[in-house]
Amino acid sequence: MPFRPRYTGLIEKYRDRLPISDDTRIISLGEGNTPLIRLNNIPKMMSKKVEIYVKYEGLNPTGSFKDRGMCMAVTKAVEEGSKAIICASTGNTSAAAAAYAARAGITAFVLIPEGKIALGKLSQAMMHGAVVIQIKGNFDVGMQLVKDVAKEAPVTIVNSINPYRLQGQKTAAFEIVEELGSAPDFHCLPVGNAGNISAHWMGYKEYHDHGIVNNLPRMVGYQAAGSAPFIRGHMVDDPETVATAIRIGHPQSWDLAWKLQKESNGWFDECSDEDILAAQKLLAEKEGIFCEPASAAALAGAMRDVNNGKIPEGSKIVCTLTGHGLKDPDTAIKQSTSPLMTVDATMLAVKKAILDNMVG
Ligand code: AN7
């Protein structure tokens, strides 16, 4: 039986490209190395021919892309002697912070908007032993509080304003290039704080600058219509969307995002909540891939922009599916149309249920 070395996470794999030294104690949960899945059925339903791949970041240890950045942020915090980390979060950052703090043996403080984070994410933060502080305010308010309090208390901020976060997250672009043998023509992502889209661009540019790849993608960022500061052109004070992960009106990486939009010749656009949920469901029903609502914004936007010609026929597209569908079971069940029935526990009743629901 052929053996291969155990995969031990993205810091070990990309240590030469990350700010790590030989004696850094690495805090890892085996993050990264996520599948790049080629969609089979959805492209066939589209009127124009394109190749679509999804980078399934929901398969990271805590179920979102945040693990890529959090392993780096916590590794560096520990190296610098920090005993506690803090973040504001719409859910996924808090889950990742809680898990990596547990792994490192330090404390995580997480500020979350009361009642506005998905159940799975809350359960993660609580289960990993974070100090969960619900605030009567949204993410943006929480983020400001975190910045203010970190000036007065011995805590390291692990939101994406921590530069190590983007360093870790850039590795997703490395993986894509390594698997495709080139950069895609278009890379579509959901945008909240715009940290992840910025990190991806950093990764692509680094491989390009170092001669590993000779093309660059156009970066496309999609926001939820009720929470779309990049489309409005200014900060939004009361963001609202079913995609709670990207319910962010004051993006922290505002300048970085506009810079990469220009450099990559990409664009930002918005998707309605209906389109986001429809794309989430389509992906689940037609491809067997379950992502959370925010993630589906990438696919919803890409499909629309293929249809309207902004993304030309023949393009190779990567959509990042930022988080796992299991993060938000409530939204999934609420919009599900699959028959959920209860029948008598008899062969006859079960047989009838089968025959009544045979398709084709
Ligand atoms: C599933 O957890 O900001 O544009 O506090 O969870 O880098 O902010 C989450 C963001 C997309 C947006 N998809 O990424 C948080 C948080 C999912 C997310 C985004 C988030 P950025």
Q: Which atom of ligand 1 is the closest one to the Cα of 189?
A: 11
Q: 10-residue block means of pLDDT along the chain (360 residues)?
A: 90 98 97 98 97 99 98 98 98 98 98 97 98 98 98 98 98 98 98 98 98 98 98 98 98 98 98 98 98 98 98 98 98 90 97 90
Nearest CA to ligand 1 atom 20: 245
Residue 330 CA, ligand 1 centroid: distance in Å: 19
Residue 194 CA, ligand 1 centroid: distance in Å: 8
Structure tokens at 164: 């190590």
Provide the whole-model pTM. 0.97
Name all residues whose Cβ lies below 6 A of ligand 1: 64, 89-93, 160, 190-196, 245-246, 292, 294-295, 322-323
Half-sphere exposure (Cβ direction) of 33: Cα atoms closer than 13 Å: 14
Q: Residue 225: what pLDDT?
A: 98
Nearest CA to ligand 1 atom 14: 192
Structure tokens at 32: 């990264």
Q: Residue 360: what pLDDT?
A: 67
Q: Residue 205: what pLDDT?
A: 98
Q: Which atom of ligand 1 is the closest one to the Cα of 159?
A: 5
Cα–Cα distance, 205 to 223 (Å, whole number): 23
Structure tokens at 125: 């933060």
Structure tokens at 144: 């400001």
Residue 295 CA, ligand 1 centroid: distance in Å: 9
Q: Which atom of ligand 1 is the closest one to the Cα of 139?
A: 5
Q: Helix, strand or coil for residue 108?
A: strand
Pocket test for ligand 1, best of 158, 241, 248, 324 (most atoms within 8 A of CB): 248
Cα–Cα distance, 142 to 67 (Å, whole number): 21
Q: Which atom of ligand 1 is the closest one to the Cα of 87?
A: 5
| 198-228 pLDDT tens trace | 999 999 999 999 999 999 999 999 999 999 9
Q: Residue 339: what pLDDT?
A: 80
Q: Residue 273: what pLDDT?
A: 98
Q: Residue 215: what pLDDT?
A: 98
Residue 357 CA, ligand 1 centroid: distance in Å: 38
Q: Residue 271: beta bridge partners?
A: 224
Cα–Cα distance, 355 to 155 (Å, whole number): 60
Nearest CA to ligand 1 atom 12: 192
